Structure 1
Amino acid sequence: MARRILPADLGVTVLLVDSITEINGDDAGCLVISGSHGGRSAARYAAAVVLAGCVFNDAGTGKDDAGIAGLAALAYPALACSHRSARIGDPQDAWDNGIVSAVNAAAQAAGLRSGMTVQAAFRQLAGG
């Protein structure tokens, strides 16, 4: 598993994690890009830490929108990028090429929407 800080110059730490299971309490307030799907099991890990925002992969959404079902459970802005724009499990690819395919209520309230790039969404969340 890999964790690394992205030199994004957004005024907030951008953390790349292959799996959402890699976040911990020290990551509170960070913007996180996870290679994980946005399902309910992933949301249980993500809910344990209050992040400034989090990106998951929609993993093709799947049956009953299982790949994004966890987004609604998160109180902070959470979104998914399309599996067609970024490889599942590859947070760097999500940063470089990700296109938002789903947002939760908190992300929508922050002005995020489907069709944005992941970079544009994080810039907006960071206030720039």
Structure 2
Amino acid sequence: MPRGQIQVVYEEPDARIVVMDSLTFCDARVGPGDVVIAGSFAGATAFAFALERRVRGLVAHAAGVGKDSAGISGLAFADRFAVPAAAVETMSARLGDGQSVFEQGIVAYANATARALDVHARVSTVEAAYRLVKAGPGRVTANAVLVERRQRVVLERDGGRVVLLGSTSFVDATNGSDVLCVGSHGGRVNALPLLVAPPRGVIFNDGGMARDRSGMGGLATLDEIGVPAATVDAMSARIGDPESAWHTGVISARNEAAARLGVLIGQPAREAGEAMLAPRH
């Protein structure tokens, strides 16, 4: 789907099922009657975008589950607000592709609120979505602020910085000389904002790679404009947590632009970030 698009696949007077590639697309178009199916990882930091809109239910991607089960940490987070949520099996659907999650996804994990609606492992996303339509209202208060948007500088050198960001959707014009270490998966949808405001380099999480190696799909997109990009292994760092990526991440994939700077598979993310930050001649 085009960036930012949401697709309504079912609608009745007080409920809808909406599909989107990223939960960062949750804006005024999304509201309390909606069951949201997204290509995002099912972590707390991703779910926060939808929970701020007080959605009825959520299905997203397990993204390899990963270190400390960060890929599905949103399930317990949603339970706190009585919002049913599920995550599809990593290899069943493409990361960053809401249509794939909806049409191909098979539920692997569900929270207690979802299980009470008979959403459980081995149910298709389509079946799960229609069951979640029956959910009652959650307990998210109006105007709740759940998304952490701040930027954190962890390294500064002449001519550039390494900046930690929860999501590539937070990138702005001030980041043009920065290497970004982000909590986002490396799917194409998360590379697209960087085409508008290209950084010096970027390090993502690979989200367990997922179907069709979609968890690193954005690396080739960034190669086209000469931006060095790499992913860290989902088992080495918590997806959604850029500090974890920076401190414990291990590079699992890189694009050609990053390889030319000496970024290596198996290298600590900190070393890769410093290589991207080094002066270029």
**Of the candidates 274, 277, 280, which is equivalent to residue 123 of structure 1?**
274
**Of the candidates 240, 251, 255, which is equivalent to residue 104 of structure 1?**
255
Give 2:193's aligned amino acid: Y
1:15 and 2:163 equivalent? Answer: yes
CA deviations over 1:52-104 (Å, ceiling 9, x no partner):
11010000000000100111110210000010000000000001101000001
Unaligned stretches of 5+ residues in structure 2: 1-147
Give 2:248's aligned amino acid: N
Residue identity over aligned pairs, in percent, reads 33
Higher relative contact order (CA 8 A, sep 6+): 1
**Distance in structure 2 (CA, Å) of the matches to 1:7 and 1:79:** 18
**Of the candidates 77, 83, 87, which is equivalent to residue 228 of structure 2?**
77
Give me the TM-score of the superposition, normalised by structure 1: 0.93
**SS of residue matched to 1:67:** helix
**Distance in structure 1 (CA, Å) of the matches to 2:269 and 2:215:** 17
**Contact (CA 8 Å) 1:2, 1:18: kept in 2 or not?**
yes
**Contact (CA 8 Å) 2:185, 2:204: kept in 1 or not?**
yes
The aligned length equals 128
**Distance in structure 2 (CA, Å) of the matches to 1:86 and 1:10:** 25
From the CA coordinates, give the structure whose radius of gyration is larger: 2
CA-atom RMSD in angstroms: 1.4
Unaligned stretches of 5+ residues in structure 1: none
| Match of residue 26 from structure 1 | 174
**Contact (CA 8 Å) 1:5, 1:13: kept in 2 or not?**
no
**Contact (CA 8 Å) 1:31, 1:51: kept in 2 or not?**
yes
Runs of 4+ deviating beyond 4 Å: none
**Distance in structure 1 (CA, Å) of the matches to 2:153 and 2:174:** 16
